[in-house]
Structure 1
């Protein structure tokens, strides 16, 4: 086997199919997007080169693009500061639920396996200002003053949308941390307890540090998911009211296909990819240190 793998021609033939597929399926489309981003093509017919005018407009004269990026960063912050800590807490509680462990695990993962179309339409009905369940419940509880047009009020809509997206993805985060907890040897719990560690100390000083490799994976997944968020946005608000709930993926789709600004849409996509790469590299470097070893 060693002799086979030391042959350069053998290695070349083994790598060539995958490398060729990667070049044509990933690199070539990206290069074509860079090129079309320098044109005024509408998707059909002839087009002319406009240089880097589209890229300049995206970066310096497109407030909707920056609003879309800001909304994605808001979602990312909410996910990292709210969803993931709660997911770790619930994962810990589930591991201590005894016979009900499988039941709770299934219940929390249900939103993740239901179609996004179904859950999105369900929440649109829940948030409806006239017949929505949420406003009806608030009215029955004597909290009518809290009733809102949850998806129609610019000051509230983005937070309603972020809540739904986090609710949909909670099961995946919970499953990742639950799997990480299952990989921690039980002996470490017993050793910490014998050394006098209380429940809070046990989990904050022993369990959570040992979860750091899984936390790193979960955070990277969260970054990419938040940045490319589209389906729920498209189905619930389509970026409205105005552009207050617009996200980069949905804005790119509307620009390229709904508005037939294919060249400008490609410029957005190229800058979008660059931003995703930069943020991913930064997060990888920030989470590079491994402390979870046993």
Structure 2
């Protein structure tokens, strides 16, 4: 076996398929996006090199900045609302055990299995101002049941609720898997020492879940930036671009307005933001791990002295 893996042809045959997939599915499209971002290509016919004109125009594009602001709001919603709830639910499911654990795990994940088109039209009916479920519930409690939830001012918050709800299952499942990988003997030792569930969660579960939290938070921010299908089917960025998101605006510019070069410039900015966010989050979590290591080292030295 060692001779087999030391053979350069064998190594090449194992690495080449993955490398080709990376080059043609990821690297080549990114390079083409960078190239077209410097052109006035409409998607049809020839294109002309225009330098940084698309990027200068992008910096003055208020709709683009609105889309970034909405993506930031969604990222905050994911990090501050969806993920804390997902982590708590995952911890509760882990303690639940039995058939109930499997049942509720499936229930929470059901929205992620349903088609995005079905989800969007389902929530359109829920938000309908005339016969929607939400307004009918408000009427039952004596309130005004004629609210248009997808109108200017309310639409962005309504869309954020749908997106946070729809992505809840993935976050919960990742946290649930992370908790399941924690050594159960740690919880047994804590129980023997008299630690309650809150102390166990704060002192054992959370510290050991840091790598999982880092991955989940990074994926949440990137997911917030690339939201497109649900937004497109629910509001298509309206009314008045109030629910516009970066990926949906890219699609509109590239394939509806036939500004393919401009759309690719948006895509390049999108890639840069994703890379910067990933590097920043990795730095933040790395600094916290280093601080924790230093504190543990100091505590050990004090204990020895």
**Common topology (TM > 0.5):** yes
1:2 and 1:220 map into 2 onto residues whose CA distance is 38
TM-aligned CA distance change 1:102 to 1:258, over 3 Å:
same
- The one-character-per-residue Cα deviations of 1:241-281 (angstroms, maximum 9, x if unpaired) are 11111111100000000111111111111111111111112
Aligned match of 2:206: 208
Aligned match of 1:97: 96
Question: Is the CA contact (8 Å cut-off) linking 2:218 and 2:277 kept in structure 1?
Answer: no
Normalising by structure 2, report the TM-score: 0.88
Aligned match of 1:52: 52
Question: Is the CA contact (8 Å cut-off) linking 2:254 and 2:264 kept in structure 1?
Answer: yes
Normalising by structure 1, report the TM-score: 0.91
2:207 and 2:103 map into 1 onto residues whose CA distance is 27
Aligned match of 2:41: 41
2:174 and 2:13 map into 1 onto residues whose CA distance is 37
Aligned match of 1:195: 193
Gaps of 5+ in 2: 294-305
1:17 and 1:78 map into 2 onto residues whose CA distance is 38
Aligned match of 1:71: 70
Q: Find out whether 1:135 has 2:152 as its counterpart.
A: no
Aligned match of 2:159: 161
2:6 and 2:283 map into 1 onto residues whose CA distance is 33
Question: Is the CA contact (8 Å cut-off) linking 2:42 and 2:260 kept in structure 1?
Answer: yes
**Which has the larger displacement, 38-47 or 9-18?**
9-18
2:2 and 2:211 map into 1 onto residues whose CA distance is 31
| SS of residue in 1 equivalent to 2:153 | helix
- The one-character-per-residue Cα deviations of 1:116-166 (angstroms, maximum 9, x if unpaired) are 11111000110111211101110111122x8531111x2211111111111
TM-aligned CA distance change 1:106 to 1:20, over 3 Å:
closer
Aligned match of 1:242: 240
| SS of residue in 2 equivalent to 1:287 | helix
Question: Is the CA contact (8 Å cut-off) linking 2:127 and 2:133 kept in structure 1?
Answer: yes
Tell me the C-alpha RMSD between the 2 structures: 2.0
1:216 and 1:147 map into 2 onto residues whose CA distance is 42
Q: Find out whether 1:80 has 2:79 as its counterpart.
A: yes
- The one-character-per-residue Cα deviations of 1:68-122 (angstroms, maximum 9, x if unpaired) are 1111111111111111111111112222224311111111111111111111100
Question: Is the CA contact (8 Å cut-off) linking 1:95 and 1:101 kept in structure 2?
Answer: yes
1:245 and 1:254 map into 2 onto residues whose CA distance is 13
Gaps of 5+ in 1: none
Question: Is the CA contact (8 Å cut-off) linking 2:130 and 2:146 kept in structure 1?
Answer: no
> Superposition pairs for residues 256-271 of structure 1, below 5 Å?
256-271=254-269
**Which has the larger displacement, 9-18 or 154-163?**
9-18
Q: Find out whether 1:283 has 2:265 as its counterpart.
A: no
Question: Is the CA contact (8 Å cut-off) linking 1:43 and 1:261 kept in structure 2?
Answer: yes
Aligned match of 2:298: none
2:272 and 2:88 map into 1 onto residues whose CA distance is 34
